[in-house]
Each structure stands twice: as C-alpha cells, then as structure tokens.
Amino acid sequence: MFLKLKMLNFLDLSFNKLSLFSQNRDVNVTNLPPIQWLGLSLCNLNGEILTWIMNLTALSHLDLSQNDLQGEIPYFLFKLENLTGLKLHGNMLEGQIELHMLSKLQKLTFLGLGGGNKLSFLEGKNTSNVTFPSQIQTLTLSSCNLVHFPNFIQHLQELTDLSISDNSIKTIPSWLWNKTTLQGLEISNNLLMGEISPSICNLQSLVKLDLTSNNLVGMIPSCLGSFSQSLQLLSLAGNKLTGNIPQTYVKGNVLRFIDFSFNKLYGQLPRTLVNCRRLEFLNARHNHFNDSFPFWLGSLPKLKAVSLRDNEFHGAIMCPLKYTFPQLRIIDLSQNGFSTKLTSEIIMCFKSMIISNKRQLDFKDVIHSDNAEIDIDSHPFSMSNKGVVMDYLGGQYLHHMVAIDLSSNKIYGEIPDIMGSLNSVVVLNLSNNMFTGSIPSSFGKLSNLEVLDLSANSLSGEIPQQLTELTFLEFFNESFNNLSGPIPENGQLSTFDDNSFKGNKDLCGIQLMKKCEDHSKLPLPTTDGDQDSASGSFFKSNWMVILIGYGGGLVAGLALGNAFAGDVFRLLKRIF
C-alpha cells in the first residue's frame, strides 16, 4: 500500500508492531517510490530481510532493528552506496561481515549490528588497502564474536558513540583513551581484566560509561566523579573492584545514574554524592559497605531509586526533617544490619509514595519529562493497566514502579498504621525481621499493591478482613509468624496456597487443609525444623515475582528483596 505512493521519500512505521510487509506479495520492484528514509524498527518483521530493499537505490537511512529477522545477512545491503544509517541490531541474523564489505558505504555515519544477532565481524589480515567510512559517528558491534578491539576504530576521528558489548574482549587498547570525541562508551559483558586505566579520564565528553559485567579489579579511578561535566550514566557493576568509592563528586556534575553493584567495595558511601543534584538512580547493592543509614541522600531533589541491599549498613533508619526524599519511588535496604523500631517518622521519609486524590498516575506524568536534554534512542515499554511498571514515552521511565524492601534486617516493634497511607506502593517486603503486634488493617488502603511479604516475623492476631480489598495482589506471604484465626475467604487471599500461610500454628482455613471449626481437634504442625530451614534458606534467597501488565503482556521482572534486578537496570540503561 505505502509503496504505491509514487512520490514517497520518507516512511517511518517503527514501534507499531504491524506486520505490514511480506517477502514477495504486492511489491513491484520495478516501480518503487524514491524512498530515502525507511524505518521499520519493531514492526514484527520475520524471515529473511526483504529483498526489494535492494532496489531502493536512493536510500540513505535503513532501520530494521528490533524485529525477528533471520537468515544470512544479505550482501546487497552493503551495496546501497547512499546509506548514512544502517541499523540491524536486535534481530537473529547470522553470517560474517568483513571490513572490505563496508568500503562502499562511504557516507555511513551510523552502523548498528549485533544485539541479538549472531554475526562475526572480520577485519582480515590485509586492511591497508581498505577504505573504511571514517566519518562514522555511532558504531554498535555488540554480539559480534570479537576477541579484541577492531583496529579500524582508532581511525574513526568523528566517533561519538561506541557499543562493543557482549563479546570476548579482554583488554582495552591504549589508543581508545585518545578518542576525546566519545560521548557514549559501552563495553559491558566482556572479559576485561586488570585495572581501569586512569587515562579513561581523558574522555571528558563522555555522557555514558558502561563497563558492567567484566573482570576488572583494583580501585575506581579517583577522577571518575569529576573528570566529565557531561557524564550522566556511570555503571561499573558486576566486576571485582575494591576499595572506597572516591570522594570526588564535584558541584555542578550532571550524573543521573550510578551503579556500583556486585563488586567488593567497602567503607562508607561518599558524602560528596550530595553534590549530584540530578541523581535519580543509585545502586550500591552486593558490596561490603559498612556505614549508617545515608539519610543525607534525602536532600537530593530528583532521587527516585536507591538500593543498598546486601551490605553491612547498620544502626537506626532516620529521616531528619530537611532530608525528605521528595521523589523517592524505590528503596531497597534489605540484607543489612539495620536495627531500629519502624516509627511513623521513618514512614514519612517515603511520603513521595502517597497519591493524593487530586493527582493520579497517568500518561501525563510520563509525557511531561524534565529530561529532554538527553538524546535517547527510543525503546517503548509496555504500560500496565495498574499503573505499575516501566514505560517509555518521550524520555520518562520507571515512573510507576514503587517499592519498599526492608527485609532481612533487625527491625522490631509494631508496623505503624500510617504505612497504609503509602497508597502508590506496588511492592512491600518486610519479611525476616522482628516485627510484633498485628497486621495493620490500614494495609487494605494500599490499592496499588501487587506484592506483600510479611513472612518470618513475630506478628500475631488475625489477618485483617480489609486485605481482601487488595484486588491487584499477585503475591502474598505471611508464613512463619504467630497469626491465628480464620484466613479471609473473599478476594485475592483465597487464591493463594498453603505456602503463603504455613508456620502459623493457630491459623486455619481451606488453604491449610484445616477447617476452622475443627482446628482444636487437629494435631498442631511441628515447626522446630521447618522454621529454621525456611529462614535459613528460602527467606535469604532471591525470590522472583513476575508482574503481568496490560492485556496479559509481560512488562517487568522484579526480584523481590532485589528491587534492582539485572533486567530492570539493563532496561534503564538503554534509555540513556
């Protein structure tokens, strides 16, 4: 249909999930319009690359990314001499690409390969006579079976963005630190060894630096917090880095995303992080930090998500009046040594998780973003009918995920009734602590709640009938407490099995195969071995809940007690 428009030169149908094109049907290859720009990203294309594209001789931009294209990568693509942009990443293409194949694409400024494909990029032994398109600005060679940096990259004088992730590269050549035009450098999921060279701080134009999931050792270069006034994303997660985080975060920096997770860092969080006034995400989980609760982070005006999981933080959780975490959406303090009573004052640290009657989460919150200064390669995420998970419209992200995880600490006392006022919370995990008293009936007001875990505490009394009003509840666990009485039979609670309720000797209901009227005649379950086993294994492990979104589509995977699951962070990084 579109190809019958004789004067058509710009056609972009990306992100529509429309199966519009077939390989051979209704395509007159002798009478095609003079298309210069063809965008078919995320259009449900499958099978081999459409052969009629070879006849679009005026084509300057071709985007076939994020489809299900398969088969050998066709050579005719490298004969389209007017191409300035070629995006093939995120498919299932196979085959070899040799350096000389690109020699005809002398106008090329954007080349995107890999990212799901199974390609091999070969330079060949004799490259001295190969004229490569030296004006390339963006180069993506992820998943290209590379074992070293291709040498031709050092001759790309205008290179601004380089992604060479998901390969088997062990070392970074010294010439890379001379490419001062770089704004984006992504070398994640490789085999990088040794220390991070201090020369990395020559790259003063960097906006994004991602060295995630390698084998880097040593200390973080002291300049990384101050070398670039443009750096917005810094990810060193999944390495073997040691020592303290440098105290060099200068005033005026524009960092928005910091991920130091899964390393061997220790000491205190640097207090100079308060200079990161644009910081939105901080991930320091799975290290050896030994510090008190960093309440001073509450002064950061844009901070949305914090994970300090699995460290050695200790003492009380406090929230002085001027440190109120004004935009906090996710906080994960699990698997630490916090020992404190959960007071109403602490709960009000999270008052940003309250939805007023006059303001409901909707698409307006997503569209009106204050982050327009970032040049984002758009990747749409699904919107949940529950207003829950990641979506992407106009540069906003993770706006609707709201989570509190205080599990596996030494928090004691009663759960304050005021916690029921945090009505935008989707995930609430208070398991494996020392809570006493009853389950607050105010939890029935948590209308967006999908996950509630109160297991492995010392809670008593009956399960409040108000919990049956939680119509979106997908996961519920209150096992191994001292609860008693009947399990409410209405609403979502009736859909959970015995694993949600076991270990409460005076609790009865159909889920436990224990009729309430006969409970006094039934033998009491033994808990000596079971409780120790459960608290020693299940409650200290990562447990996974899949949040199902609109139309039954999969919208996010969240490892509870692990609000910063790898998948979540990978999605976040893609939008920078």
d(CA 560, CA 428): 9
Which residues make Cβ contacts (< 8 Å) with residue 339, sequence separation at least 6? 314, 315, 316, 409, 410, 411, 412
Residue 163 burial (CB < 10 Å; 0-12/13-18/19+)? Answer: buried
pLDDT over 60 at 389, yes or no: no
Residues in the chain: 576
Q: Which two tokens stand for residue 405?
A: 């995880």
How confident is the model at residue 356, as a pLDDT? 67
Assigned architecture for domain 170-320+330-337:
Alpha-Beta Horseshoe (3.80)
CB 399 within 8 A of CB 387: no
**What's the mean pLDDT in 130-141?**
85
**What's the mean pLDDT in 556-567?**
38
3 state SS for 556-569: EEEEECECCCHHHH
Which residue type is seen at 181?
T
* CATH code of the region 404-541: 3.80.10.10
Q: What is the pTM of this model?
A: 0.82
Which residue type is seen at 470?
L
Task: Considering only residues 391 and 140, tell me which one the structure prediction assigns the higher pLDDT.
Answer: 140
Q: Which CATH class is domain 1-123+130-163?
A: alpha beta
Whether 170-320+330-337 and 1-123+130-163 are alike in CATH topology: the answer is yes
**What's the mean pLDDT in 284-299?**
96
d(CA 29, CA 151): 39
**What's the mean pLDDT in 380-392?**
27
Q: Sheet containing 506-508: which strands, arranged edge to edge?
A: 460-461, 482-486, 506-508
How confident is the model at residue 527, as a pLDDT? 42
How confident is the model at residue 18, as a pLDDT? 61
Q: Kindly list the domain boundaries of the chain, sorted by start residue.
A: 1-123+130-163, 170-320+330-337, 404-541
CB 457 within 8 A of CB 434: yes
d(CA 443, CA 414): 13
189-238 pLDDT per residue, tens: 999 999 999 999 999 999 999 999 999 999 999 888 778 889 999 999 99
Which residues make Cβ contacts (< 8 Å) with residue 364, sequence separation at least 6? none
CB 449 within 8 A of CB 470: yes
- At 414, is the pLDDT very low, low, confident or very high (cuts 50, 70, 90)? very high
- At 400, is the pLDDT very low, low, confident or very high (cuts 50, 70, 90)? low
d(CA 362, CA 413): 36
How confident is the model at residue 124, as a pLDDT? 67
Tracing tokens 């000797």 back to the chain, one arrives at 505
How confident is the model at residue 27, as a pLDDT? 56
Highest mean pLDDT among 22-26, 56-60, 511-515: 56-60
Task: Considering only residues 364 and 144, tell me which one the structure prediction assigns the higher pLDDT.
Answer: 144
pLDDT over 70 at 304, yes or no: yes
**What's the mean pLDDT in 360-374?**
32
Which residues make Cβ contacts (< 8 Å) with residue 190, sequence separation at least 6? 164, 165, 166, 167, 168, 169, 170, 213, 214
d(CA 532, CA 539): 10
pLDDT over 60 at 241, yes or no: yes
d(CA 121, CA 102): 11
